[in-house]
């Protein structure tokens, strides 16, 4: 399951203790393989297989303000599990999954302001379950999954909420389902999962949306599938998962892209767990619970304080405004003329220009839609990716 980070409400360097704390249990049927996404200060969780082996379509909201669960409208569709999820622009999405009739291709969007679900464009191609989802630069992504018929997929699809269109992107080098994903530094990391024979995988891959390319990342300390991963300030955290059909784990690992290393965090206090739900708060806290230990399903919900320095989140950042824009944008935070390229939602370079300190850039020739401005420098110069929307 995937969810976005909740807003960063802290300021300055903060050192946090590594500890899990119990929160209020989900006030609904225990379940595994539910979907989750975060919008603002809220975590939304729903669907999954309940303790009575019934597929569910109910949804619930956990508020980080009052630390309580609240019921929200159910998905207006069949009960299901193994949906992929992501959040973009204050809307949550669930894609694919499996119901009583088999794998699904449906995409549903939830609007928390209207408290309404709306069906959007189906996933192209064969229906699938147990894919993993993430979002980058205003687009949602679905990676891998188990296709109807039992074939593990390597496909990567990008969804643009503005146009309601899916676009095929570079497939992950090794097909998988029940993988985990998190994002960091404008890139996505897809780790672990299982092949079509349910053999657990330990490999990890980094996806660059600008280059539309995958590169190997440091593998997991051990093979896992049906684990759950979440972004934190300095990388990502992975919780639980299974190594085979009979063995479930309570391990918690953190990946640091800067050093390409995994380190160990305190084990999950609820015990071994697979198919849970995960979310994050401010890049310094992970929320996790539900799932199964192969004996029973759970309603529990915990938080983990992750020991990171908050200042890493904002150091050396540039900004782009106004967003959305009409004819011009201004890149602030630069001190000299900076070459930039602008890439459209299909990954194509549509404009090359120079950003000048205090000088607006003309983007009036671009059509309406989503773009990414990328700064271009030498090998030792950090590259910045700044998404924006061009209005008609």
Q: Compute the distance between CA of residue 59 and CA of residue 76 in angstroms, rounded to an integer.
A: 11
303 DSSP β-pair partners: 21, 287
- Are 248 and 331 members of one domain? no
* Contact of 41 with 7, CB cutoff 8 Å: yes
**pLDDT given at position 16:** 41
How far is the CA of 365 from the CAs of 115, 323, 325, 362, in angstroms? 37, 16, 12, 8
Q: What is the CATH number of the domain that holds 292?
A: 2.120.10.80
Q: Which domain holds residue 339?
A: 319-390
| Last residue within a domain, chosen from 291, 313, 335 | 313
- Are 151 and 227 members of one domain? yes
- Are 254 and 347 members of one domain? no
- Are 189 and 251 members of one domain? yes
Report if pTM > 0.85: no
DSSP one-letter string for 167-213: EEEPPPSS-BBS-EEEEETTEEEEE--B-TT--B---EEEEETTTTE
Q: Compute the distance between CA of residue 234 and CA of residue 318 in angstroms, rounded to an integer.
A: 18
CA atoms in the 13 A half-sphere facing the CB of 271: 11
- Are 304 and 345 members of one domain? no
Q: Helices then strands (H, E): number in the chain? A: 0, 41
- Are 336 and 251 members of one domain? no
Q: Compute the distance between CA of residue 296 and CA of residue 183 in angstroms, rounded to an integer.
A: 31
Residue with tokens 């302001």: 113
| Last residue within a domain, chosen from 261, 283, 313 | 313
Residue 261 tokens read as 């290393």
**pLDDT given at position 313:** 29
* Contact of 137 with 385, CB cutoff 8 Å: yes
- Are 194 and 130 members of one domain? yes
Per-residue pLDDT 10s for the chain (392 aa) are 444 444 333 323 333 456 899 999 999 999 999 999 998 779 999 999 999 999 999 999 999 888 999 999 999 999 999 999 999 988 999 999 999 999 999 999 999 999 999 999 999 999 999 999 999 999 999 999 999 989 999 999 999 999 999 999 999 999 999 999 999 989 999 999 999 899 999 999 999 999 999 999 999 999 999 999 999 888 999 999 999 999 999 999 999 998 999 999 999 999 999 999 999 876 778 999 999 999 999 999 999 988 753 333 233 478 888 888 889 999 998 888 888 888 876 667 789 899 999 899 999 999 888 788 888 764 445 568 888 888 87
- Are 289 and 337 members of one domain? no
* Contact of 244 with 197, CB cutoff 8 Å: no
Q: What is the CATH number of the domain that holds 359?
A: 2.60.40
- Are 238 and 324 members of one domain? no
Q: Compute the distance between CA of residue 111 and CA of residue 379 in angstroms, rounded to an integer.
A: 42
User: Number of folded domains in the chain?
Assistant: 2
How many Å is the maximal CA-CA distance in the chain? 63
Q: Compute the distance between CA of residue 54 and CA of residue 29 in angstroms, rounded to an integer.
A: 10
Strand 5-6, strand 277-281: pairing: parallel
- Are 288 and 345 members of one domain? no
* Contact of 371 with 308, CB cutoff 8 Å: no
CB neighbour list of residue 190: distance below 8 Å, 6 or more residues apart: 132, 134, 143, 144, 172, 176, 179, 180, 181, 204, 205, 207
| Last residue within a domain, chosen from 313, 348, 366 | 313
50 DSSP β-pair partners: 31
Q: Compute the distance between CA of residue 164 and CA of residue 27 in angstroms, rounded to an integer.
A: 34
DSSP state of 383: P
The closest alpha carbon to 195, from 146, 229, 243, belongs to 146
- Are 203 and 118 members of one domain? yes
Residue with tokens 């639980």: 240
- Are 304 and 364 members of one domain? no
The closest alpha carbon to 241, from 205, 286, 288, 300, belongs to 288
Q: Compute the distance between CA of residue 381 and CA of residue 385 in angstroms, rounded to an integer.
A: 13
């Amino acid at each position: 399951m995937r969810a976005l980070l909740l807003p960063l409400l802290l300021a300055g360097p903060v050192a946090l203790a590594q500890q899990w704390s119990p929160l209020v249990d989900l006030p609904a049927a225990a379940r595994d393989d539910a979907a989750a996404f975060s919008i603002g200060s809220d975590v939304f969780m729903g669907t999954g297989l309940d303790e009575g082996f019934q597929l569910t379509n109910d949804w619930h909201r956990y508020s980080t303000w009052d630390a309580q669960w609240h019921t929200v409208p159910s998905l207006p569709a069949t009960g299901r599990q193994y949906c992929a999820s992501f959040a973009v622009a204050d809307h949550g999405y669930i894609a694919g999954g499996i119901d009583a009739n088999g794998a699904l291709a449906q995409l549903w969007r939830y609007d928390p302001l209207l408290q309404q679900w709306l069906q959007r464009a189906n996933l192209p191609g064969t229906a699938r379950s147990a894919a993993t989802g993430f979002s980058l630069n205003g687009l949602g992504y679905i990676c891998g999954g188990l296709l109807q018929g039992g074939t593990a997929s390597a496909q990567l699809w990008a969804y643009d909420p503005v146009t309601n269109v899916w676009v095929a992107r570079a497939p992950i080098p090794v097909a998988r389902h029940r993988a985990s994903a998190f994002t960091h530094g404008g890139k996505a990391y897809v780790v672990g999962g299982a092949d079509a024979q349910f053999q657990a995988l330990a490999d990890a891959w980094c996806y660059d949306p600008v280059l539309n390319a995958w590169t190997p990342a440091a593998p997991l300390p051990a093979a896992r599938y049906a684990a759950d991963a979440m972004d934190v300030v300095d990388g990502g955290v992975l919780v639980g998962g299974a190594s085979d059909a009979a063995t479930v784990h309570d391990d918690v690992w953190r990946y640091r892209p800067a050093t390409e290393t995994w380190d160990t965090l305190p084990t999950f206090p609820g015990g071994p767990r697979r198919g849970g739900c995960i979310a994050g708060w401010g890049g310094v806290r992970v929320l996790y619970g539900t799932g199964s230990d192969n004996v029973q399903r759970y309603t529990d919900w915990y938080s983990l304080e992750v020991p990171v320095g908050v200042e890493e989140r904002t150091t050396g950042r540039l900004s782009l405004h106004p967003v959305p824009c009409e004819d011009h944008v201004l890149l602030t935070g630069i001190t000299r003329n900076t070459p930039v390229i602008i890439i459209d939602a299909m990954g194509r370079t549509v404009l090359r220009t120079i950003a000048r300190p205090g000088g607006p850039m003309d983007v009036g020739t671009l059509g309406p839609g989503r773009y990414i401005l990328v700064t271009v420098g030498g090998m030792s110069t950090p590259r910045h990716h700044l998404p924006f929307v061009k209005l008609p």
